[in-house]
Amino acid sequence: MHKAPYDNQNRAIVDRADPVTPLVYFNIVKLSAGERFVSTVEGYETCLVPATGAIDVQIGDWSADGVGGRGEDVWDGEPNAVYVPVGASAEMTAVSDCEVFIAGAAFDEVYAPFVVRAGDIDPVQYGSDDTKTHRKIKHLLGQNPPGKVGRLLVSELYTVGAGGWSGFPPHKHDTDRLPDESHHDEVYNFRFRPGHGFGMQLLQREDGEVGEAYHIVDGSTLQIDKGYHPCVAAPGYEMYYFTILAGASQRSLVQFFQPTHAYQVETIPGIKDMIAKFK
């Protein structure tokens, strides 16, 4: 399901118990310097990620100052993040004008808050210009030790260079049938450089049937509940997408590659390392 960009006025874009992707929560909060916002999401662990600007965060007696610091867009600096326990109230104070992504996953245990700084990020780069699959992933909540995070995976994905495919070969993760596949709901928020760039998100719900295609632009939100879902940036444009994955029964993601295209895994440099980073 595609949601075109709109002024959400700091209210959830994908709310708790959403009918399409009920395991995921997603909000975008925009604040001017000095403004405050309190995020409390019952039944969901969350992660605060400044897309631009910086925030101070207070969660009970715990605090982190100067989280973020990117400039005019998501390409301008490295990401930071704060993990917020299930149901906790996180007060954000804008150090500068900022835009903050709030990602969440349904969970029922309470862990401790922590901050993710630039040095804690787990990056991976894979693909190639020849295969039109060159991209970089920055894992904010990736392979963190057990006991720190419940079901939530949060990452930032960038095309390397202008144009090219992502999420290829086509894969899905809509059914718990381990060890071959896990059930994870997924939500993306896209950005393009320059901002008038665009791309296309494909969603093939059933193998062997024609799928759907969505015209994605700067600020598009995509909810993926079922099916194979590669996407592509148009030539001449760089693409970024903020990625939220929420597991139904486990945190580790197990992708099932579409059988007719699975052999392409062997043609893309570094893709197996990328797959391992989601586990």
Residue range 67-80, pLDDT digits in tens: 999 999 999 999 99
Give the range among 1-15, 120-134, 145-159, 172-186 with minimum mean pLDDT: 120-134
Peptide bond just before 194 cis, omega within 30 deg: yes
Name the band, by pLDDT with cuts 50, 70 and 90, for residue 113: very high
Is residue 273's pLDDT more than 80?
A: no
What confidence score (pLDDT) does residue 248 get?
Answer: 97
Q: What is the pLDDT of residues 168-188, one digit of tens each?
A: 899 999 999 999 999 999 999
Residue 96, both tokens? 């500068």
Domain regions of the chain by residue span: 14-277
Residue 244, both tokens? 């939220």
Q: Whose structure tokens read 């995070």?
A: 149
Give the range among 68-72, 126-130, 219-223, 272-276 with minimum mean pLDDT: 272-276
Secondary structure of the chain: what % helix, strand, coil (to 5)? 5, 50, 45
Name the band, by pLDDT with cuts 50, 70 and 90, for residue 226: very high
Contact present, 167 and 211 (Cβ < 8 Å): no
Give the percent of the chain with pLDDT over 90: 80
Q: Is the dihedral of CA 6, 11, 12, 16 positive or negative?
A: negative
Q: Does domain 14-277 have CATH number 1.10.10.10?
A: no
Is residue 278's pLDDT more than 70?
A: no
Give the percent of the chain with pLDDT over 70: 97
Using a cut of 0.85, tell me whether the model's pTM lies above it: yes
